[in-house]
Amino acid sequence: MGRVQDKVVFITGAARGQGRAHAVRLAEEGAHIIAVDICEQIDSVGYPLASRDDLDETVRLVEKLDRRIVAVTADVRDRTALQAAVAEGVASLGRLDAVVAQAGIAPIGRPEAQALLDATTVNFSGVVNAVEAALPHLPDGASIIATGSTAALMPPSDNGRPDSGKLGYSFAKRSVASFVNDLAVALAPRRIRVNAVHPTNTNTPMLNSDPMYREFRPDLENPTREDALPAFHVMTAMGLPYVEPDDIANTVLFLVSDESRYITGAQLRVDAGAIVKRRPQQPQF
């Protein structure tokens, strides 16, 4: 028996990166998965987003573990599409026990207002839409998990150039933190727990991309990963350039499992000391 044996978990952004890591780790511990990803490009994002082939690979990895998975191509900005995806998954798998609102983009380095709007509607509205689509199916005692970011909990950096995408990313992730706090209160009578996980740099395609290299090495016109790698270390207190998706997935597993049944409204930072490095004062919560 696994730690989440036969639970059904709805995961957005499941085609690769952190979302795929969550799906596989939960499946290793006995869960069945409803997986959603957009599988197409958003114009303001300067790196390739996941493809249908990526989502199919997530399906293969979950099924290899002898777990069931329903995979649907859907945009988290489309509430109706998410509702249909959840309904299809529940009809096939019989129930829903948890939500992991993971889907996110980083349209950084873009001055146009659309980049701010895209970051907000995917990274924040997408979380709200995922929760709203799932809530009618969730039993008492269920778990809702949203992905924030330690970067959004820090004072914003300024590389001296307009960056609407970064503004939108920071706003959206801060809003996720607030949303989790308030939703936890609203759902407490049903013992549905609501928590946020805030990763530091994570070794995914979002981090390993040209826009991120330029963010960490603004002194270079066309920095490579090798140029940016030494600068990645500034994000943590432990001297790490990044954590792995599995490090985040282990935290998600704990929050989906009954081991966390009385943990709600928490802001769990998987950040190798990124926040405490910059906030040595007594914590506020």
Chain centroid to Cα 24, Å, comes to 15
Known catalytic membership, residue 242: no
Reduce the DSSP state of residue 73 to 3 states and report it.
strand
**Which residues neighbour 221 within 8 Å (Cβ) at sequence distance 6 or greater?**
none
CB contact burial 167-193 (16+ within 10 A = b; e otherwise): bbbbbbbebbbebbbebbeebeeeebb
d(CA 191, CA 203): 34
Whether the Cβ atoms of residue 19 and residue 74 lie closer than 8 Å to each other? no
d(CA 31, CA 16): 18
Looking from the CA of 230 toward its CB, the CA atoms found within 13 Å total 4
Q: Which two tokens stand for residue 268?
A: 């769990």
d(CA 80, CA 75): 10
Whether the Cβ atoms of residue 96 and residue 138 lie closer than 8 Å to each other? yes
Catalytic residue among 47, 169, 213, 262: 169
How many other CB atoms sit within 10 Å of the CB of residue 262? Answer: 8
Whether the Cβ atoms of residue 100 and residue 145 lie closer than 8 Å to each other? yes
d(CA 121, CA 214): 24
Catalytic residue numbers read 169
